[in-house]
A and B are shown apart, each in its own frame.
Chain A
Amino acid sequence: SQTIHQWPATLVQPVGSPLSLECTVEGTSNPNLYWYRQAAGRGLQLLFYSVGIGQISSEVPQNLSASRPQDRQFILSSKKLLLSDSGFYLCAWSHTSWNEQFFGPGTRLTVL
């Protein structure tokens, strides 16, 4: 069976500090991978998606970036965090673009 891991579970960072969130998927190959952000009490905002190693599409231009160094690894980064980067970050995977997505447990990021 497939599983998806995210870490860390929670993170408190000062404004201007760097960020690195990691997501890994087990039990499948060549998945589509996604990063979403959910602000408190709000819906899901797609940040990045990837259909293969090194292939990243950005949905929202901002101070975040994503990388996919390995088939089942997806990393969300920032060089300098902003207060507005606070939120709940979710990683997800799917077999194809038409299939259901499976979500990780999420990372709660607070930028102070």
Chain B
Amino acid sequence: AQKVTQAQTEISVVEKEDVTLDCVYETRDTTYYLFWYKQPPSGELVFLIRRNSFDEQNEISGRYSWNFQKSTSSFNFTITASQVVDSAVYFCALTGTTSGTYKYIFGTGTRLKVLA
């Protein structure tokens, strides 16, 4: 069965602190894709990144970075020097070749509060 676990329900940090959001997944697929989405207070989900199971290179985009480790089935997301605008709910998601076609498995989300 496919599963995505975001154990951190809510995290609060002070502005300029670094913060890491954890994502642990379960899948039997050899080919699968992982995603991170941001849901600001407005409600619309915003796509941040997609990673396939064959690419374990870490990625950095500005203050955002992602650490994909197949050995621990984790795809963690780090925000460096957090800002108030980073306050949102962040979702990790998974889809794979045998997950049932055309559907994603989303985690329950982590609410990040960045305090000024």
Q: Name A's B-contacting residues (CB within 8 A).
A: 32, 34, 42-44, 46, 49, 51, 57, 59, 88, 90, 92, 97-106, 108
Known: A97-B102, A99-B50. Is A43-B91 also a contact (CB below 8 A)? yes
In chain B, residues 74-113, which have Cβ atoms closer than 8 Å to a Cβ of chain A? Answer: 91, 95, 101-104, 106-109
User: B46: shortest Cβ distance to chain A, in Å?
Assistant: 8
How long is the Cα–Cα vector from A57 to B102 in the complex, in angstroms? 10
User: A101: shortest Cβ distance to chain B, in Å?
Assistant: 7
By secondary structure, the A interface counts as: strand
Residues of A within 8 A of B104 (CB): 46, 101
Q: Point out the residue from A34, A43, A97, A104 that lies within 8 Å of B44, measured CB to CB.
A: A104
| Closest partner residue, chain A, to B47 (CB atom) | A100
| A97/B101 in contact, CB under 8 A | yes
Known: A98-B33, A98-B95, A100-B35. Is A44-B47 also a contact (CB below 8 A)? no
| B45/A103 in contact, CB under 8 A | yes
How long is the Cα–Cα vector from A104 to B39 in the complex, in angstroms? 12
Q: Point out the residue from A49, A104, A105, A106 that lies within 8 Å of B102, measured CB to CB.
A: A49
Residues of A within 8 A of B103 (CB): 34, 46, 49, 59, 97
User: A65: shortest Cβ distance to chain B, in Å?
Assistant: 18
Q: List 18 A-B contacts (CB under 8 A).
A: A34-B103, A42-B108, A43-B106, A46-B104, A49-B103, A88-B43, A90-B44, A97-B95, A98-B52, A99-B50, A100-B35, A101-B35, A101-B45, A103-B37, A103-B44, A103-B45, A106-B44, A108-B43
Q: Does B30 lie at the interface of the complex (its beta carbon under 8 Å from any beta carbon of A)?
A: no
Residues of A within 8 A of B37 (CB): 103
In chain B, residues 45-78, which have Cβ atoms closer than 8 Å to a Cβ of chain A? Answer: 45-47, 50, 52
